[in-house]
Structure 1
Amino acid sequence: MTTTTAAQDDVPASRSRSAGLLAGGGGIAATMVIANGAFYALTMLSARLLGPAEYSALAAAMNLLLVLSVVSLGVQATAARRIALDATHAQEIEASVLRLSWRTGLGIGLALVVLSPLVKELLRLDDLSPALWLAAATVPSTVVGGYIGILQGERRWRDLSLLYLAASLRLPVGVVLLLWWPDVVTALVAVTLAGFLPILVGRHSLRNTRSGIVSMHRRGIRELVSEAARNSQALLSFMALSNVDVIVARAVLDPHEAGLYAAGAILSKTCAILPQFVVVVAFPSLASHTERIRALTRGLVLTAAIGLAATLGVTLLRPLALSVVGGGEFAEISADLPAFTLLGTCMAMVQLVVYAVLARQGRRSTWLIWICAAVLVLGGSTAATAQSLLVWGLCVTTALLVVLVATSFWIVRRPAPADDADSASDTTSGALDATNATAAPTH
């Protein structure tokens, strides 16, 4: 298979690339922490300025935005995997990925404009303005995935770090706008405007990519779109699982209880996204069968360590943690804050396993995630308090994590090239040779 050839080329550098998870990832880890910290600092500021009832509307909108970002993540994963396995055709892949990113971003934005009345009713918004700004925010959040995936696949950690630093500028933009006019629409305007900053950095980093000159073979483009769609569907299952709880809270709990859960969810989302650098740095190694066992093991250990440290910190500094998520108005949720951090840690570990599945182009595990998301919704719909919804979400996520980890290690330890019983095949972008009209992806 083409994958075997690509993997063999990687063998001499296998150890050094795997070591990048702990060493080379230091810079990208710091900048991702800054970027994600800026995002959640803006979220926390919004909670303080808006209060429980109005903040729950913003939290539901932001979680819907995260769910919609699966297309961006699907394109990112596709670009990173294909470039990591076939660097010789990186320029063809880059040009097609950027074109695909812009077209899908604009398409999703326009679709949400049309569906804005439905979004208004789903999120129980007062008017259409937040729904329309949510549609606008999806454009940059979708487009940026293409730039991230290209830099990730080429392991250009310095350029990727600069992109994430640009993303952190959403905090000062949001602070200025919210202090001027604190409401849901203002927060979404800040997210939209700041979303274009990392795109500008990405365009500068890839300024030598000549999309008008370099192009992939038409069949190769179809395969790129097909893989991106499969990846997006898999990531949609995870995003639905990890964000549907806040939407369920908004739908079934009274506004006060929903606001309490949304505030606690700030911690769970923070703990879920804090070790995200592990996924970014490990993903190229997870795509190679010679490196994926080591990368997955180290990634899970590092993610769990970060999460447990965060849980211990929240337990010991609970008053400080409460002040971070919103202050005295949310005191009723104080005792449950460590459980929220554990929930976020489980989600982070599930996310790493999901990306390991994408890296080997597995498919069957996705259905298990969808089933768990449905179970979370069905059980959560009977919840009467924020605490009961939290307990149910923690039970479902923990059970899913145990099954996925066990299944993934059983699969990846099987000999290559038949190590992916979970997948239809372990395709590589090496078959996407734009210079050979007969070349096509191996399936």
Structure 2
Amino acid sequence: MRDSSTLRDKISGFSSGGGQIAVAMAIMNFATYAYTILVAHTVGPASYGAFLATMNLLIIVSVASLGVQATAARRIAADPEHVGQIERSILGVTYRAAAALGVLLLVLSPVVDRALRLDSLPIAFLVAASAVPVTIMGAQAGILQGERRWRALGLLYIAAGVPRVAVGAALLAWRPTELWAIVAVFVGFCAPVVVGWWALRLPQRREAYSQEHRGRAILWESVHNGQALLAYFALTSVDIIVARNVLSDHDSGLYGAGLILTKAMLFLPQFVVVVAFPSMSTVEHRRRALLRSLSLVAVLGLAGAVATWLLSSLAIVFVGGAQYAEIEGQLWIFAILGTVLSLVQLLIYSVLARQGRRSILIVWAGLALIIGLGLLVSSIGALVVVVLGVDLVVLAALLVVSAVILRREDTAMGPGPVSLQ
């Protein structure tokens, strides 16, 4: 009876945590999308190009933040007895890394300005300044995620989106330029750091020291996590670069519109990864957490793809309207592509949770295949088939590797009850 009660408590905890994070991330993503639309309508096409280029660079910079977040969440979930030491080490490493990254980007500001054709050194300076709070936020989010403090983590995610819109609307009403649009982004990056500081303001108790959680070990794990996530982001983004090189401007624009739906389907189940990752970091819960998460993401993706197929006229409005009508009949394929990428992301985080190394080579190989095969096509349909086909191969390979490793872990653990968490 007691085991049944514990099981219900864990299911209830997962559900409530998932619900809170789902709502918070939905608010964050909607606010981010709304701000992008606001900038596009306010600053004009030429300035919007500079804004978009800057935001793409900041996405690359944020890989360091995500690497630190994964490290913090995994270590705290896997070794809760040393949460105080891990928190102090993570924050110490992150503060130094954030400062170093900020200084490096500050030195490279003239290069960034010229490479992105910004014609504005202040914007390049803001990229360097933004790197600091972005990286610190990753550590704070990882600590809260590892401790399963879903409410505080949800507030942090909301703070990452809403202040950007509020401050940005005011600044753009005053000065509708790309510079002030990026100023609002910088302020928006600082807001969640304040929330994270408040949530973590009470220091954890000091426990016995563990060599495993030294600063150097944390730094190297964060670097590994960062390169794995960089491979994933490259896999999800390289097709639009290929499209710009093999398709006409008109067709590459249509393909880019389809990718809006792909990104929506990719971000829709993002909360599943956040909630499941701590459980995937513990051997006894890893298999169940991964299976449940894969099933949930697949169901959400299937529902989204079917809805896109049945309501294609509504979906085309979402991706840009009547001017993109030529792509309407293929939107359901882009929805499936987003779901496949979401499943790949979940498996990559599973690899990070068990600290796998060689599995990430599959992702890098997939990236090379998309580039190599994509450059041989000359139509939207052919390109999306190539990208989807390669991503399915990557997904299948990661599934096989994960199944083999999890079976070995189950064998090593021996028979016994498996908790649901």
* TM-score interval for Structure 1 and Structure 2 normalised by the shorter chain: 0.7 to 0.9
Letter in 2 for 1:199: V
**1:125-274 matches, cutoff 5 A:** 130-169=123-162, 170-178=164-172, 184-209=178-203, 220-249=214-243, 256-274=250-268
Please list the CA deviations of residues 393-421 of structure 1 after superposition, one character each: whole Å capped at 9, or x if unmatched. 222212211211122122112235858xx
Report the structure, 1 or 2, having the larger helix content: 2
1:313 aligns with 2:315: no
The answer to whether the 8 Å contact 1:83/1:90 transfers is: yes
Q: How far apart are the structure 2 equivalents of 1:395 and 1:358?
A: 24
Distance 1:172 1:103, change over 3 A: same
Letter in 1 for 2:201: R
The answer to whether the 8 Å contact 2:82/2:208 transfers is: no
User: 1:16: how far off?
Assistant: 4.7
Distance 1:144 1:398, change over 3 A: same
Q: How far apart are the structure 2 equivalents of 1:250 and 1:131?
A: 25
Report the more deviating stretch, 357-366 or 230-239: 230-239
Q: Counterpart of 2:355 in 1: which secondary structure?
A: coil
1:90 aligns with 2:83: yes
Structure of greater relative contact order (alpha carbons < 8 Å, 6+ residues apart):
1
Q: Counterpart of 2:409 in 1: which secondary structure?
A: coil
In the alignment of these two chains, the number of paired residues is 409
2:27 to 34, 56, 76: 34
Structure-1 residue corresponding to 2:36 = 43
User: 1:125: how far off?
Assistant: 5.1
Q: Counterpart of 2:283 in 1: which secondary structure?
A: coil
1:390 to 379, 384, 387: 384
Distance 1:190 1:120, change over 3 A: same
Please list the CA deviations of residues 316-359 of structure 1 after superposition, one character each: whole Å capped at 9, or x if unmatched. 33333333333344444433332222221111111110111111
Q: Counterpart of 1:414 in 2: which secondary structure?
A: helix
Identity of aligned residues (%): 47
Structure-2 residue corresponding to 1:439 = none
Structure-1 residue corresponding to 2:417 = none
Please list the CA deviations of residues 38-87 of structure 1 after superposition, one character each: whole Å capped at 9, or x if unmatched. 22233344455567776566445433422332211111111111111222
Structure-2 residue corresponding to 1:279 = 273
1:66 aligns with 2:39: no
Q: Counterpart of 2:282 in 1: which secondary structure?
A: coil
1:290 aligns with 2:284: yes
Specify every segment of 5 or more residues in structure 1 that has no aligned partner in the other structure, as ranges.
1-11, 420-443
The answer to whether the 8 Å contact 1:137/1:192 transfers is: yes
The answer to whether the 8 Å contact 1:52/1:256 transfers is: no
Q: How far apart are the structure 2 equivalents of 1:55 and 1:379?
A: 31
User: 1:155: how far off?
Assistant: 0.7
User: 1:243: how far off?
Assistant: 2.4
Distance 1:191 1:215, change over 3 A: farther
Distance 1:401 1:203, change over 3 A: same
Structure-2 residue corresponding to 1:348 = 342
User: 1:201: how far off?
Assistant: 0.4
Report the more deviating stretch, 362-371 or 137-146: 137-146
Distance 1:133 1:355, change over 3 A: same
Q: How far apart are the structure 2 equivalents of 1:387 and 1:240?
A: 21
Q: How far apart are the structure 1 equivalents of 2:404 and 2:324?
A: 43
Q: How far apart are the structure 2 equivalents of 1:253 and 1:25?
A: 41
1:327 aligns with 2:321: yes
Distance 1:194 1:415, change over 3 A: closer
1:399 to 374, 393, 398: 393
Please list the CA deviations of residues 288-337 of structure 1 after superposition, one character each: whole Å capped at 9, or x if unmatched. 12111111111011111112222223333333333333334444443333
Report the more deviating stretch, 248-257 or 37-46: 248-257
Please list the CA deviations of residues 264-299 of structure 1 after superposition, one character each: whole Å capped at 9, or x if unmatched. 322212211111111111111101121111111110
Q: How far apart are the structure 2 equivalents of 1:124 and 1:388?
A: 32
Q: Counterpart of 1:190 in 2: which secondary structure?
A: helix
1:369 aligns with 2:363: yes
